[in-house]
Amino acid sequence: LMLTQEGPKVLEYNCRFGDPEAQAVLQLMETDLLEVMQAVENETLSELEVKFSGGHACCLMIASGGYPGAYQKGKKISLGRAADMPGIEIFHSGTEIRPDGLYTSGGRVLGVTAKGSTLAEAFSRAYRAAKEISFDNIYYRRDIGQKALDARIAGT
């Protein structure tokens, strides 16, 4: 989405399950995803009530140094306490498991997805969890969603 003076405009619609947008939305879905997929396949989706919980979610992508250009691979990852924090799910996208631990293997390394009763709480949880994660040349943007959060706080 792009926020304009005329309101939000859709630039791109992603529907792949590995995308951060899907990772955030799916955290709020209460209906079993398999049940939804089967209803789509059977052309009975109109008969299924797909439910979403209240609240908010956001997905913060943690990247490897150099991304989106020539990113670095093979950096050992420590998740710290992030995986045990309430309201947090960590999606692996550019990781590799080796006998001695977890390593980076792509540009987009982890999707830290957080739920909260407010947008501010979801953002805060995601960034707190991200601070627990470490590897050499870790990178994540600190401005993602900030305009939406600022507008919500301002009541616009």
Q: What is the pLDDT of residues 12-38, one digit of tens each?
A: 766 677 788 888 888 999 999 999 999
Query: Quick check: pTM over 0.85?
Result: no
How are the residues of the chain apportioned to helix, strand and coil, as percentages rounded to the nearest 5?
Answer: 30, 30, 40
pLDDT in tens, 95-128: 999 999 999 999 999 999 999 999 889 999 999 9
Q: Phi and psi for 105 in degrees, rounded to 5? A: -140, 5
